Structure 1
Amino acid sequence: MLEFVWVTNRENPLTDSSWVLKLNETGVLLLLNHDKSVIWSSNTTRPARYPVAKLLDSGNFIVQDGNNNNDPKYLLWQSFDYPVDTILPGQKFGRNLITGLNLYLSSWNSSDDPSQGSVKRYRFGSWNGIQFSGAPQLKQSDVSRFNYTSNEEELYYTFELVNKSAIRRMVLTTDGYIQGIYWHNEGNEWSLYTRIPLDDCDYYDNRGAYASCNINKIPACNCLDGFVPKTVDIYSGSCVMRTSFSSHGDGVLKFSGLKLPDTERPWVDRNISLEDCRILCMKNCSCTAYAALDVSKGPSGCLLWFNELIDTRELTEVDEDIYIRMAGTEIVSFLLLLVSVFSYLLSFLTVSQLLFLAGAIERKQLHKSNLRKQETVIIRKMKGNLERDASLLLNEHEKEDLELPMFELSTITFTTNNFSPDNKLGEGGFGSVYKGILDDGRETAVKRFSTNSGQGLQEFKNEVTHIAKLQHRNLVRLLGYCTQAGKRLLVYEFLPNKCLDFFIFSKIWLVCIHTLCIMIQTLESYLKKSPTWPPFEQMKRRAC
Structure 2
Amino acid sequence: MASTALNLLSITLLLSILTNASGKDILRGDETIRDGETIVSANGEFELGFFRAGSSTNRYLGIWFKKMSYGTVVWVANRDRPLNNTSGMLRIDNKAILLLVDAALIWSANSSTFVKNPVAQLLDTGNLVFRDEQDGGSENFVWQSFDYPGDTMLPGMKFGKNLVTGRQWYYSSWKSVDDPSPGNFVHRMDTHGYPQLLLWKGSELQARTGPWVGNRFSGDPVPKANRIYLNEFFIEPREIYYAFHLFNTSSTRPATRLILDPNGNRQRLIWNDQNQEWRTYLTILVTDCDRSAPCGPYATCDVNSSPKCACLRGFKPKIPEKWEAADWRDGCVHINPLNCGHGDGFVKFSGVKLPDTRQSWYNLTMNLEECKSMCLKNCNCTACSNINVEKEGSGCLLWFGGLIGINGYTEDAQSIYVRMPASDLDESATDESNNSGLRRIIFISISVALTAMSALILLLLFMKRKLKRKVYSHFTGTSSSNGEENLELPLFDFRKIVNATTNFSHDNKIGEGGFGPVYKGMLEDGQLIAVKRLSDSSRQGIDEFKNEVSLIAKLQHRNLVSLLGYCIEDQERVLIYEYMPNGSLDSFIFDKGKRSLADWERYYSIINGVARGLLYLHQDSKLRIIHRDLKASNVLLDHDMNPKISDFGMARSFGGSQTEANTTRVVGTYGYMSPEYAIDGLFSTKSDVYSFGVLVLEILSGKRNRCFEHPDHNLNLLGHAWRCFSEDRLKDLLDGIILEPSNECEAFRDIQIGLLCVQEYPEDRPNMSSVVLMLNSKTALPNPKKPGFFTERKRHEKDYSSSKHILSSSNDYSITAISPR
What interval of TM-score do these two structures reach, taking the shorter chain for normalisation? Answer: 0.5 to 0.7
Partner of 2:79: 10
- Select between 303-312 and 111-120 the one with higher mean Cα deviation: 303-312
Label 1:262 to 1:3 Cα distance change in 2 as closer, same or farther (>3 A): farther
User: d(CA) in 1 for partners of 2:157 and 2:434?
Assistant: 47
Match of 1:77 in 2: 143
Do the aligned residues in 2 keep the contact of 1:109 with 1:117 (CA within 8 Å)? Answer: yes
Instruction: Give the distance between the partners of 1:48 and 1:66, measured in 2 at CA.
Output: 9
CA distance in 1, matches of 2:87, 2:380: 55
SS across alignment from 1:136: coil
Secondary structure at 2:262 match in 1: coil
Alpha-carbon distance between aligned partners in 2 of 1:260 and 1:277, rounded to the nearest angstrom: 16
Give 1:110-259 correspondences, 5 Å limit. Answer: 110-121=176-187, 122=199, 123-164=208-249, 165-197=253-285, 200-201=288-289, 211-224=299-312, 226=315, 228=317, 232=322, 237=329, 239=331, 253-259=347-353
TM-fit CA distance, 1:167: 0.7
What's the counterpart of residue 31 of structure 1?
99
Q: Alpha carbons of 1:81 and 1:280: their partners in 2 closer, same or farther (altered >3 Å)?
A: farther
Structure 1 residues 14 and 163: CA distance shift in structure 2, 3 A: same
Whether contact under 8 Å (1:140, 1:146) holds in the other structure is no
Residue identity in the other structure for 1:173: D
- Secondary structure of the structure 2 residue equivalent to 1:277: helix
For 1:410, the equivalent position in structure 2 comes to none
Q: 1:93 aligns with which of 159, 181, 184?
A: 159
**2:372 counterpart letter in structure 1:** R
Q: Distance in 1 between matches of 2:245 and 2:236?
A: 20
Q: Compute the displacement of 1:46 (Å).
A: 4.5
Q: What is the DSSP-based 3-state SS (H/G/I as helix, E as strand, rest coil) of the residue aligned with 2:372?
A: helix
Q: Report if the CA contact (8 A) 2:352-2:409 is conserved.
A: yes
Q: Which moved more, 1:146-155 or 1:88-97?
A: 88-97
Q: Which secondary structure does the structure 1 equivalent of 2:417 belong to?
A: strand
CA contact (8 A) 2:229 2:244 kept: yes
**Aligned residue identity for 2:270:** Y
Residue 270 of structure 2 contacts residue 279 of structure 2 at CA under 8 Å; is this kept in 1? yes
Task: Judge conservation of contact 2:79–2:181 (CA < 8 Å) in 1.
Answer: yes
- Deviations along 1:271-319, one digit per CA (max 9) or x if unpaired, are 2222233344455677554321222220112234568655431242641
Q: CA deviation at 1:146?
A: 1.0
Q: Match for 1:32: what amino acid?
A: L
1:40 equivalent in alignment to 2:107 = yes
Shift of 1:98: 2.9
Which residue number corresponds to residue 719 of structure 2? none
Residue matched to 2:480: none
Corresponding letter in the other structure for 2:322: V
Gaps of 5+ in 2: 1-69, 188-198, 200-207, 450-821
> Which residue does the alignment assign to 2:121?
54
Q: Deviations over 1:377-408 (max 9, x none)?
A: xxxxxxxxxxxxxxxxxxxxxxxxxxxxxxxx
Between stretches 232-241 and 96-105, larger displacement belongs to 232-241
Q: Please, which moves more after superposition, 118-127 or 150-159?
A: 118-127
Distance 1:46 1:223, change over 3 A: farther
Determine which of 412, 415, 433 is the counterpart of 1:321.
415
Question: What's the CA shift string for 1:256-279, capped at 9, x where partnerless?
Answer: 211123457865433222223334
Query: What's the secondary structure of 2:164's corresponding residue?
Result: coil
Distance 1:238 1:153 in 2: 38
Say if 2:434 is the partner of 1:360.
Answer: yes
Give me the whole-angstrom Cα distance separating, in 2, the residues matched to 1:217 and 1:289.
25
After superposing the two structures, state which structure 1 stretch, 312-321 or 88-97, moved more: 312-321
Please say if residues 221 and 235 of structure 1, whose CA atoms lie closer than 8 Å, have aligned partners that are also in contact: no
Contact 1:292–1:299 under 8 Å retained in 2: yes
Structure 1, residues 471-508: CA drift from partner, whole Å, max 9, x if none? xxxxxxxxxxxxxxxxxxxxxxxxxxxxxxxxxxxxxx
Q: Deviations over 1:491-528 (max 9, x none)?
A: xxxxxxxxxxxxxxxxxxxxxxxxxxxxxxxxxxxxxx
Pick 1 or 2: higher relative contact order, CA cutoff 8 A, min separation 6.
1
What SS does structure 2 have at the residue aligned with 1:232? helix
Residue 104, structure 1, aligned to residue 170, structure 2 = yes
TM-superposition CA deviations, 1:226-261 (whole Å, max 9, x none): 475689367574647559988778765543211123
Q: What SS does structure 1 have at the residue aligned with 2:75?
A: coil
CA RMSD of aligned residues (A): 4.1
- Residue of structure 2 aligned with 1:276, choices 370, 386, 411: 370
- Any conservation in 2 of the 1:107–1:174 contact (CA below 8 Å)? yes
**TM-score, normalization: structure 1?**
0.54
In the alignment, which residue of structure 1 is the partner of 2:396?
A: 302
| Counterparts of 1:149 and 1:256, CA distance in 2 | 25
Given the alignment of the two structures, is residue 68 of structure 1 paired with residue 141 of structure 2, yes or no?
A: no
Q: Percent identity?
A: 38
Instruction: Give a deviation string over 1:49-71, Cα, whole Å, max 9, x none.
Output: 44432221111222234443463
For 1:459-470, list aligned pairs within 5 A.
none
Aligned residues: 349
- SS of aligned partner of 1:166: coil
Contact preservation (8 Å) 1:131, 1:140: no
How far is 1:77 from its partner? 2.6
Q: 1:216 to 1:64 in 2, by over 3 A?
A: same
Equivalence map 1:391-406=2 (5 Å): none
Q: CA contact under 8 A between 1:269 and 1:301: conserved in structure 2?
A: yes
Per-residue deviation at 1:142?
A: 1.6
Letter in 2 for 1:117: G
3-state SS in 2 of match to 1:360: helix
What is the alpha-carbon distance in structure 1 between the residues aligned to residue 376 and residue 400 of structure 2?
12
Q: How far 1:140 moved relative to its partner?
A: 3.9
**Aligned amino acid, residue 93 of structure 1:** F
Offset at residue 151 of structure 1 (A): 1.4
Preserved CA contact (<8 Å) 1:214 1:313: yes
Distance 1:309 1:104, change over 3 A: farther
Cα gap change, 1:262 to 1:104, in 2 (>3 Å) = farther
Contact 1:136 1:318 in 2 (8 A): no
Q: CA offsets per residue over residues 140-199 of structure 1, 9 Å max, x none? A: 422211111111222222111113311111112222322221121121222222222385
Map of 1:306-455 to 2, 5 A cutoff? 309-316=403-410, 318-324=412-418, 331-332=421-422, 334=424, 359-362=433-436
Q: Summarize the Cα distance change of 1:128–1:144 in structure 2 as closer, same or farther, 3 Å threshold.
A: same
Q: Which stretch shows the higher mean deviation, 140-149 or 116-125?
A: 116-125
Which amino acid in 2 is paired with 1:232? K
Question: Structure 1 pair 318/261, CA: closer, same or farther in 2 (3 Å)?
Answer: farther
Letter in 1 for 2:245: E
Is this contact kept in 2: 1:52–1:67, CA < 8 A?
A: no
Q: Tell me the residue number matched to 1:512.
A: none
8 A Cα contact 2:156 2:244, kept in partner:
yes
Q: Hey, what's the Cα distance between the residues in 1 that align with 2:168 and 2:298?
A: 23
Query: Partner residue of 2:624?
Result: none
Is the contact made by 2:340 and 2:379 (CA closer than 8 Å) also made in structure 1? no
Return closer, same or farther for 1:300/1:79 CA change in 2, 3 Å cut-off: same
